[in-house]
Amino acid sequence: MEAQPFEMFGNSHLVTLLIIISIALLVPITLKGSKIEKKIFIAKLIGVSVILLEFIKPFIWHYTMDFPWTELIPIHMCNLSTIFVGIFLITYKRIFFEVSFFWGIGGGLNALITPDVPRNFPDPEYILFFFGHGILMIAILFACLGLKNRPTLESVKNGIYFSLATLPVIYVINIVIGPPANYWYLGVKPVGESLLDFFPEPPFHIPLLILLGILVFYLIYSPFWIYDKFKKASAV
């Protein structure tokens, strides 16, 4: 079957999103009530698996789809989110959860909703793109629902500070490597439809990206803030 041009919210896109959401919710639900030792084992297994995946994917992209190595360093926000959530699931170091949560939910959801792919399923690029981002969402939801982790207001600040410190490093890497390197989409907008279509041309979109990122972090945290307020009010 020949892959057709990608259609946002077409049948392939919607079915793929449904599969990812179902698995992401099913894994922690299945383990509900399990002994903590089993959950820790599953956490470490998922952690090791997602980290290995991030270092295997570049070889698949390169040798099966001829992508240049300069585009395949795993330092896109979603790549780093996957690595960080993997480290968290192995080590339980809080900072890795905080960064991966906001980067993964913010960047990962945006990638799943507005994917940077030219063709629909069963194109290999489509499959690998959604597989990688789907695994990220599954790992993050397992950390939250399966292991009972959640962000705090301090987590938002840590995520923002870490992002602001990392962004110039990524920008310099893009310059040093040169085209077609475009990590964090700081040099060129994504191929597919995305929010960046409404932004100025690079690099003048970067200040707006920063403001949007900060807003998204607080929006992601807002349900937890509202829950805490209601809980505190009901306890009075």
pLDDT at 192: 65
Q: Of 133, 30, 134, 147, which is closest to residue 88 (Cα–Cα)?
A: 147
- Answer yes or no: are the C-beta atoms of 75 and 169 closer than 8 Å: no
User: What single string gives the DSSP state of each residue in 158-208?
Assistant: HHHHHHHHHHHHHHHHHHHH-TT--GGGSSS--SS--GGGGSPSTTTTHHH
Integer Cα distance of 167 and 212 in angstroms: 14
pTM confidence score: 0.91
Per-residue pLDDT tens, the chain, 236 aa: give them: 667 888 888 999 999 999 999 998 998 888 887 888 898 999 999 999 999 999 999 999 999 888 899 989 999 999 999 999 999 999 999 999 999 999 999 988 888 998 888 888 888 889 999 999 999 999 999 999 989 999 999 999 999 999 999 999 999 999 999 888 999 989 888 776 677 778 888 889 999 999 999 999 999 999 999 988 888 777 66
Cα 76 to Cα 181: distance, rounded to the nearest angstrom: 10
In 3D space, the residue among 107, 103, 136, 80 whose CA is nearest the CA of residue 196 turns out to be: 107
Q: Which two tokens stand for residue 227?
A: 């829950």
Amino acid at 45: L
